[in-house]
Amino acid sequence: MKILKYGNPILRKKAKAVGKIDDKIRKLVDDMFYTMRNSDPIGIGLAAPQVGVLLRIIVIEVPDNEPLSLVNPVIVKASGKEKALEGCLSIPGIFGNVERAGRIEVKGINPYTNNKVIIQARGLKARAIQHEIDHLNGILFTDYIEKVDDLTIDEGYKLPEKLIERFNKGKE
């Protein structure tokens, strides 16, 4: 499974709700976890559109937390504001400060049990969930960044050409 990179038009499309959760969906979730855990750099979240599948599915694995997979996730409550550095497997080596809710409540379906779940999250886990739900709506963390100078670039990485173009002509 390959992670799509910035500039791929699929990353800008809105994902469709999953109608039926079956073994094919569970295999996709397993493959997403595998891809996220074995990416370079290793990720803490991945959304199905990032692997070319336009379905509303996310996986999250934040240190010191149980792995979380949600089908059709929806944030039902959000409070507080926190600004922190974010990165993305679709834009490796690039980081920027993004303001997000500090605490959230999200509902969705556990693909392994088919049960509806409500998750309370704060801190990094809340940030990761919001970041991945943004992917389901065609939004990337760089959309929250005002100027190219506000991005941090790790050594050995460079800004994607299409991202430079976006900053040069304003928001997409």
Identify the three-state secondary structure at position 53.
coil
146 is catalytic: no
Q: Tokens at residue 101, please?
A: 């809710």
| Residue 138 CA: distances (Å) to CA of 42, 50, 63, 152, 172 | 22, 10, 26, 22, 11
Type of residue numbered 32:
M
Distance, in Å, from the CA atom of 79 to the CA atom of 81, rounded to the nearest integer, reads: 7
Give whole-number Cα distances, 40 to 3, 37, 70, in Å: 11, 9, 23
Provide the H-helix boundaries in the chain: 23-37, 123-136, 161-169
Question: Of these residues, 61, 132, 146, 161, which one is catalytic?
Answer: 132
Q: Which residues are catalytic?
A: 132
